[in-house]
């Protein structure tokens, strides 16, 4: 699997299986593309856990392959959203109230929304205007909903999660541009 698709230690997953949820998206522009219920933990966030972060990932896979990985019950990985490179289309895979398994750190998984971006950390052509713009709108909406500050202390890269061995979104991700777009969305 790609570098951005983190797993959760199996000890944390024991008995953690999700029930089917209605196909209602949290972000109105998103298309519902559900992850396997074996790949996230049902919850009632932000009541059960406060939401403090948005974690930015790069898939190291295509959009379609990422959705397939999230649907595979053996993968034990998911994110709340996936943004397609070509047109910025947003798929929601896990409800925001539930805990997606994206950060590789249980504490950060419980306190964050994970957004995967189609592409590879070393191929900047995947970081299109549409991808940045639509992702920034999504991140702004999440931050507004949960009172998350729209800054780099709270909108972080996967590589900034404590204990992470991942490099995404990588040095070619334009953080200045992204945070500016989030704040103007």
User: Could you give the C-alpha distances from 161 to 38, 108, 124, 141, 174, in angstroms and in order?
Assistant: 23, 7, 22, 22, 18
CA atoms within 13 A on the CB side of 112: 28
pLDDT at residue 9, as a whole number: 40
pLDDT at residue 125, as a whole number: 98
**C-beta separation of 126 from 52 below 8 A:** no
Rounded Cα gap, residues 6 and 151, in angstroms:
24
Q: Could you give the residue numbers annotated as active site? A: 116
* Secondary structure (DSSP) of 136-151: HHHHHHHHHHHT--SS
**C-beta separation of 9 from 16 below 8 A:** no
**C-beta separation of 38 from 77 below 8 A:** no
pLDDT tens readout for residues 90-101: 999 999 999 999
**C-beta separation of 90 from 29 below 8 A:** yes
pLDDT at residue 57, as a whole number: 98
Rounded Cα gap, residues 123 and 61, in angstroms:
12
Q: Kindly give, in sequence order, each residue whose CB lies less than 8 Å from that of residue 24, ignoring residues fewer than 6 positions away.
A: 32
Q: Two tokens at 151?
A: 């800054």
Longest dimension (CA), the chain: 42
pLDDT at residue 5, as a whole number: 47
Other C-beta atoms lying within 10 Å of the C-beta of residue 29:
13
pLDDT at residue 144, as a whole number: 98
Task: Split the chain (185 residues) into runs of 10 and give each run's mean pLDDT.
Answer: 42 42 83 98 98 98 98 98 98 98 98 98 98 98 98 98 96 98 97
């Amino acid at each position: 699997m790609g570098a951005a698709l983190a797993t959760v230690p199996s000890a944390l997953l024991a008995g953690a299986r999700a029930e089917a949820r209605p196909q209602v998206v949290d972000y109105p522009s998103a298309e519902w593309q559900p992850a396997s219920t074996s790949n996230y933990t049902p919850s009632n966030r932000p009541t059960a856990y406060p939401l403090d972060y948005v974690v930015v990932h790069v898939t190291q896979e295509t959009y379609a392959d990422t959705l397939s990985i999230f649907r595979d019950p053996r993968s034990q990985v998911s994110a709340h959203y996936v943004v397609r490179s070509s047109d910025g289309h947003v798929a929601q895979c896990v409800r925001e109230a539930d805990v997606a398994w994206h950060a590789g750190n249980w504490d950060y998984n419980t306190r964050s929304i994970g957004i995967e971006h189609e592409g590879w950390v070393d191929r900047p052509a995947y970081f299109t205007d549409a991808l940045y713009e639509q992702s920034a709108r999504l991140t702004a909406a999440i931050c507004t909903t949960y009172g998350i500050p729209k800054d780099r202390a709270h909108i972080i890269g996967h590589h900034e999660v404590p204990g992470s061995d991942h490099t995404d979104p990588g040095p070619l991700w334009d953080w200045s541009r992204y945070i500016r777009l989030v704040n103007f969305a």
